[in-house]
Amino acid sequence: MATLTGGAPPVSGRWRAWWLAARPRTLPLAVAPVLVGTAVAHAESGVRWGPALAALAGAVWIQIGANFANDVFDAERGADGEARVGPARAVASGWLTPRAMRAATAAAFAFAAAIGLHLVAVAGWPIALLGAAAILAGLAYTGGPWPLGYHGLGDAAVFLFFGVAAVCGTSYVQTLAPSAKSLVASLPVGALAAAVLAVNNLRDADSDRAVGKRTLAVRLGARAARREYGALVIGAFATAILWAALAGRPALLLPLLCAPLARRLIASVRSDSGAALNATLADTARLAIAFAALLALGIALSW
């Protein structure tokens, strides 16, 4: 096991440590696709609040489980050592033991699986496959013999599971039918979720490189990582504009209200590095939830 840093300031109480380990700033990424998927369900056949709320709870627990898994696995691989410029992590800082974090990871995913059983009863085996894949991806991001995040596949995994799978799955458990609208709507949601990871990896590129964590920012370099971020953010807005134009639904342009924030964040990513990107990362998560909320409203008003 990697040596713990022990350099982070102590936290006031065990519950505070668990709260920080859950990474509350990332939880909007679990909420965003459920909002959009539920709006699609409203447009297709009507919202079913029971499955919608269950999908929300399941998504949040999967996100928490993935955060816990990332905390312990990165600590054990040495990725959260003294060179880290992001927020302190619970296991690497000595706030919580690896054993406790592993148990919490298992509990979080067990809660998600229990909620998933209800959704499987509602919507059948496709949801069982989707839920199992999401949990496995949460573990495989930094754990297992071939962790996705250490081989440059984290961005694609986030786009798929926090965009396509989450939006389409949320819509499906309410309508019980595939939806072209949900697929289109999932693209900007996934792009902005991936943008959060992109700025995270740009910030951590030097420390990740030192421990062999070959994210896209490490593999391609800082310049390409900055371009990736810009492409993801601009691509999200471009998708909304194109959808609005092709569908003849002006309300789908509501996410453009977030364009000033997006422009500021792209400028920040172009000029900043290291710890200066911590605020940009948090604001990118805010952009993702604001965009999703406005897109959901636009979908609800359009059909």
Q: What are the sequence ranges of the domains in the chain? A: 20-302
Is the CB of residue 82 less than 8 Å from the CB of residue 5?
yes
C-alpha of 278 from chain center: 16
Q: Which of 178, 173, 140, 170 is nearest to 156 (CA)?
A: 140
Question: What is the pLDDT at residue 4?
Answer: 41
Residues of the chain with pLDDT under 50: 1-7
pTM, two decimal places: 0.94
Q: Give me 97's structure tokens.
A: 């033991």
pLDDT tens figures, 247-276: 999 999 999 999 999 999 999 999 999 999
Q: Which CATH number fits domain 20-302: 1.10.287, 1.10.3470, 1.10.10, 1.10.600?
A: 1.10.600
Question: What is the pLDDT at residue 105?
Answer: 98
Question: What is the pLDDT at residue 13?
Answer: 77
Is the CB of residue 81 less than 8 Å from the CB of residue 207?
yes
Place of tokens 């569908």: 247
* DSSP 3-state of 133: helix
10, exposed or middle or buried, with CB in 10 Å at 0-12, 13-18, 19+? exposed
129, exposed or middle or buried, with CB in 10 Å at 0-12, 13-18, 19+? exposed
Question: What is the pLDDT at residue 9?
Answer: 61
Q: Give me 76's structure tokens.
A: 């054990």
Distances in whole angstroms, Cα of residue 127 to Cα of each of 116, 134, 169? 8, 10, 7
